[in-house]
Amino acid sequence: MVKNTNHVMVDVECLSLRPDAVILSIGAVQFNPWHIDDWASLSLPSRSFYSALPMEIQIEEFGGHISAYTLAWWFRQLPDAQSVFEETTKIKNHHLHERLLAFTQFTGTTLDGLWATPSHFDYPKLDWLFDKCGIQFPCPYYRIHCGMSLKQLADPNGDRLEVYVPPGFTTHNALDDAKKQALQVQQCLRLLKS
Does the N-terminal peptide bond of residue 118 adopt cis geometry, omega within 30 degrees of 0? yes
**Is the residue at 174 inside a domain?**
yes
Q: For position 188, what pLDDT does the model report?
A: 96
**Is the residue at 12 inside a domain?**
yes
Beta pairing, strands 48-52 & 113-116: unpaired
Domain that holds residue 170: 7-193
Is the distance from CB of 114 to CB of 10 less than 8 angstroms? yes
**Is the residue at 2 inside a domain?**
no
- Residue 13 has a CB neighbour count (10 Å cut-off) of 24
**Is the residue at 148 inside a domain?**
yes
Regions of the chain where pLDDT drops below 70: 1-3
**Is the residue at 1 inside a domain?**
no
Q: What is the CATH number of the domain that holds 186?
A: 3.30.420.10
- Indicate the number of domains in the chain: 1
**Is the residue at 78 inside a domain?**
yes
**Helical spans, DSSP H, in 50-173:** 56-60, 68-75, 79-89, 95-107, 119-132, 147-154
Q: For position 9, what pLDDT does the model report?
A: 98
pLDDT digits (tens, 9 = 90+) for 16-33: 999 999 999 999 999 999
